Amino acid sequence: MFMGYTKNVLSEIASGKRTAVSRVQVFLQKIREQDGAIGAFIEVYERDALAQAAAVDAKVKAGKKLGILGGLVVSVKNTVAIEGKLFTCGSKMLEHYRAPYTATAIEKIVAQDGIVIGSTNMDEFGCGSDCSNSALKVTKNPLDLNRVPGGSSGGSAAAVAAGFCDVSLSEDTGGSIRCPASFCGVVGLRPTYGLVSRYGVGDLAMSFDQLGPMSRDSLGSALLLSAIAGVDYRDSTTSHSKTANYSENLGEIPATLRVGVPKEFFDGCDDQVEKQVRKAIAALQAKRGVIVEEFSFPMVKFSLPIYYLLVFSEFASAMQKYDGLKYGLKWEDAKDFNEAVSAVRDKAFGKEVKRRILLGAYITMKEFRDAWYTKALKARDALKTDFARVFAKYDVLLGPTMPSAAWKLGEKSHDPLQMYLADVLTVPVNCAGICAGTVPCGETTEKMPVGIQVAGAWNADALVLKVMSALEELVR
Amino acid sequence: MDDATLQRVAQVCRLKLGEKEKAELRVDLNSILSYFSQINEIEEKGRELYYVVDSSSVPRQDVARPSNEAEAIRKGFAKCKDGMMMAPKSL
């Protein structure tokens, strides 16, 4: 647990007690010494990070006020474009590709005096839940190098947990922030859809994808969210709703807080995970004004098929642009256009990516569409409506983030369905587009972290962060 | 999904699959579809929800902004001639 971490860092830099440059140098040294064993980073931006740090120090020396990120060191999941830097999305298709422009979220981080230190490993195009589908390298859980860090943002979570950075900008389509955050014992938040611009972000499934923070404590996530949130003319799905200062009054939950605990969230859950999560819920319930009620939410059990069928469809469409012509792995001479493009795609894509492309194409074909795709679209509407009904009664929902702690390397790599089933607790909120975060709440007898998930209604990100912070305080 | 359907889908997706790969994928795909067929238990009603946000076709302001990315984008082309992207022959 890292209580007070972010506050201390910001205070040290703003007061001049420690320079941003010296902090970056320490991180770089640690990465050099330890990341060989962990494998969090794809690329480290040593020169750029030191230059950004020097700019922060110059501001402090000149007595100027720093931006809200105040010198925090940020790693970035390698699905977010930074001009001139490798943009691999964990795939051989883009292994040597460098982004021609910078994502809005990165521009905002730098504008708020965040220091970008490097890009982190991920499952190929976000397809996976333990980072084993990266085509480029293996990332291990820093807490146990025989275990997975979670996915698809395994590199980001590992970087934060290993102390290679202060916070990480990551991305969550079906749990890709929350799963690795839970497995590595750090904080993570999937914001409400549309809160953060996706301009410059590699897409997995556009109606689900959302950038979000990972950090050592809730304050870190709140500050990073404050920096990156807001409408962007370059992403028409961004929300015009007023964004909050997410770090304001963090930890101060409302005088009356109505907490719902869906019974179905514990179905199939590991006993040790359930024990730690229920302990945390009980601790919150003991606080004055908190009303906790268990209830049944049967529609939640259909979240997994709804999620995956729609993600397969959107993903198949998203992958069409990778044809070896415009960027990435290059086409070679072949009999004709189809042969040339097919050869590149076959060579570049991993097994899971191919599975999802094939499934997405199949279920959207005219003769099969109604049986699968149309059904999933209508079911998504029903689930979204159900969530709205639930949040009319409860302020937040609590439950385990993942049904188990981190599994051993390779344990689920050969069974795609087992991998999908691990997402059962994270995908429901993505289907509805609402927000959810995770904080560590204990550990198993094998000393692996357990995460508790806090879900909130549309645009309730500030409240979710407050509850996350309150839980952090209670379980330390 | 039978062999012929898988072959047709692979062609649509522009994926060149080997025979062994096809056999393995067919097992995986059918197992996944079989599990997700529980979608049929849901009563079909309501609209087809493509987006979780209500807005669509959001216009931007008609303001000219510099865009200097053309050269950077051209640098990514696999094969380029006279500033144009080259593609394999279709006919």
Distance of CA A303 to the CA centre of its chain: 19
**Domain covering B3-41: architecture:** Orthogonal Bundle (1.10)
Q: Helix axis angle, A303-318 relative to B19-36, nearest 10°?
A: 140
Nearest-Cα residue of chain A relative to residue B72? A100
Residue A336 backbone phi and psi in degrees, to 5: -160, -175
- At B46 the pLDDT is 77
- At B25 the pLDDT is 93
Name the residue ranges covered by the structural domains of chain A.
Answer: 5-253+460-475
Residue A358, token pair as written in the block: 């094939």
Measure A331 CA to nearest chain B CA, in Å. Answer: 7
Q: Is A176 a catalytic residue?
A: yes
Q: Is A366 on the interface with B (CB under 8 A)?
A: no
Name the residue ranges covered by the structural domains of chain B.
Answer: 3-41
- At B47 the pLDDT is 86
Residues contacting A216, CB < 8 A, separation 6+: A2, A5, A6, A160, A166, A167, A186, A187
Summarize pLDDT for A412-431 with one digit per residue, the tens.
988 899 999 999 999 999 99
Strand partners, A11: none
* Contact present, A115 and A95 (Cβ < 8 Å): no
Residue A61 backbone phi and psi in degrees, to 5: -65, -35
Chains A, B: CB contacts within 8 A come to: 165
- At A16 the pLDDT is 95
- At A1 the pLDDT is 53
Q: Do A236 and B60 touch (CB under 8 A)?
A: yes
pLDDT at A396 over 70: yes
**Rounded mean pLDDT, A432-451:** 97
Q: What global pTM score does this model have?
A: 0.96
CA dihedral defined by A188, A191, A197, A200, rounded to 10 degrees? 40
Summarize pLDDT for A50-92 with one digit per residue, the tens.
999 999 999 999 999 999 999 999 999 999 999 999 999 999 9
Q: What's the per-residue H, E or C state across A103-128?
A: CHHHHHHHHCCCEEEEEECCCHHHCC
Q: What is the DSSP letter of A138?
A: -
Q: How far is residue A102's CA from residue A222's CA, in Å, rounded to a whole number?
A: 23
Residue A320, token pair as written in the block: 């069409």
- At A201 the pLDDT is 98
- Residue written as token pair 């996530």: A221
Q: How far is residue A395's CA from residue A259's CA, in Å, rounded to a whole number?
A: 6
Residue B73 backbone phi and psi in degrees, to 5: -70, -40
Q: Which of A91, A119, A152, A469 is catalytic?
A: A152
**pLDDT band, residue A214 (cuts 50/70/90):** very high
pLDDT at B90 over 90: no
- At A245 the pLDDT is 87
- At A262 the pLDDT is 98
**pLDDT band, residue B50 (cuts 50/70/90):** confident
Strand partners, B22: none
Q: Do A379 and B5 touch (CB under 8 A)?
A: no
Residue B34, token pair as written in the block: 């079989």
For chain A, what percent of residues have pLDDT higher than 90? 92
Q: Is A152 a catalytic residue?
A: yes
pLDDT at B91 over 80: no
**pLDDT band, residue B43 (cuts 50/70/90):** confident
Residue A338 backbone phi and psi in degrees, to 5: -60, -45
- At A211 the pLDDT is 98
Q: How far is residue A124's CA from residue A254's CA, in Å, rounded to a whole number?
A: 41
Summarize pLDDT for A222-245 with one digit per residue, the tens.
999 999 999 998 998 998 877 788
pLDDT averaged over chain B?
Answer: 87
Which residue in A302, A319, A329, A362 has the most chain B C-beta atoms within 10 A of its own C-beta, making it the best mutation to test that interface? A362
Which of A315-319, A324-328, A354-358, A454-458 shows the lowest mean pLDDT across its residues?
A324-328
Residues contacting B61, CB < 8 A, separation 6+: A233
**Rounded mean pLDDT, A279-296:** 94
- At A99 the pLDDT is 94
Q: Is A378 on the interface with B (CB under 8 A)?
A: yes
**Domain covering A5-253+460-475: architecture:** Alpha-Beta Complex (3.90)
Residue A175 backbone phi and psi in degrees, to 5: 130, 10
pLDDT at B67 over 90: no
Q: A191, exposed or middle or buried, with CB in 10 Å at 0-12, 13-18, 19+?
A: buried
How many helices (H) and strands (E) in chain A? 15, 11
- At A86 the pLDDT is 98
How many helices (H) and strands (E) in chain B? 3, 2
**Rounded mean pLDDT, A312-331:** 94
**pLDDT band, residue A2 (cuts 50/70/90):** low
